[in-house]
Amino acid sequence: MASIRAYAFAAALATLLAAPPLAVAGPPFRTDDPEPVDFGHWEVYGFSQATRAAHDTAGILPGVEVNYGVAPDLQLHAVAPLAFDRPPGGGTTFGPGDTELGVKYRFLDDNIEAAVFPLVEVPTGDADRGLGSGHTDVFLPLWLQKSFGKWLSYGGGGYWINPGAGNRNYWFVGWLLQRQITHDLALGGEIFHQTADVAGGADTTAFNLGGTYDITDHYHVLFSAGRGIVNASRTDAFSYYLALQWTF
């Protein structure tokens, strides 16, 4: 059975790599959590997301994310989107974006959960058309989580290695608070801060509000929307995320 599951993941990953993406964080929020997919189980998302800033709108429509619990406390991760970009005064470009690959390892699962989740952004998108970075980017984060009753709180952050002319390495930190409203509905909000990722760029502080609705035990709708609080017009005038998740 383990070999069948490993083969299935390899086949799914090969399919993803044939149609590359842009970066995503912990759906439906930018802030991620330390909880991996259970051993032998899958999460598959079909999603769309976008951000408007300085009259430029860019995002993913559609994208696919696949997570697999390859071992206890260990998750494999891949994201493959079709990206779009609408710059000021120009038409919309559309095509494969940068491919995201990662491994989440939870090393603490007690009163407080903790995990590392390194990500690699493979430059499979066309940077000249605004559909990718043109360089291999790496994110090295630490995520923490604490639950109490119907409340869940998680967050953390890490360091982005962002090579390329005019680019800067940068930090991302965020925290989220979420409450289970009904058996099927959870709502929450996050606030996050990111330092400038290009020379002469601006730091940003922003928020998102959203949640998860369980249609059935295996199908779930995830949604969020928000905007910047600091330097919003330059970095995040409005953003959204919407996904249908299949768990099994």
Q: What is the pTM of this model?
A: 0.86
Banded model confidence at residue 4, pLDDT cuts 50, 70, 90: very low
pLDDT of 232 reads 85
Alpha helix positions (H), the chain: 2-17, 232-235
Listed by start position, the domains of the chain span 2-247
pLDDT above 70: percentage of residues in the chain: 90
pLDDT tens digits for range 33-78 = 999 999 999 999 999 999 998 778 999 999 999 999 999 999 999 9
CATH entry, 2-247, from 1.20.5.440, 3.40.50.300, 2.40.160.40, 1.10.8.100: 2.40.160.40
pLDDT tens digits for range 80-98 = 999 999 887 778 899 999 9
pLDDT of 6 reads 44
Compute the average pLDDT of residues 142-148.
96
Residue 71 to residues 36, 106, 206: CA-CA distances in angstroms? Answer: 10, 11, 35
Compute the average pLDDT of residues 221-234.
93
Compute the average pLDDT of residues 158-165.
96
d(Cα 6, Cα 22) in Å, to the nearest integer?
25
Asked if residues 173 and 154 have their Cβ atoms less than 8 Å apart, the reply is: no
d(Cα 51, Cα 30) in Å, to the nearest integer?
12
Whose tokens are 């470009």? That residue is: 93
pLDDT of 234 reads 84
Joined tokens for residue 77? 């991760």
Compute the average pLDDT of residues 199-216.
95
pLDDT tens digits for range 92-119 = 899 999 999 999 999 999 999 999 999 9
Banded model confidence at residue 235, pLDDT cuts 50, 70, 90: confident
Residue 209 to residues 53, 131, 222: CA-CA distances in angstroms? Answer: 18, 26, 11
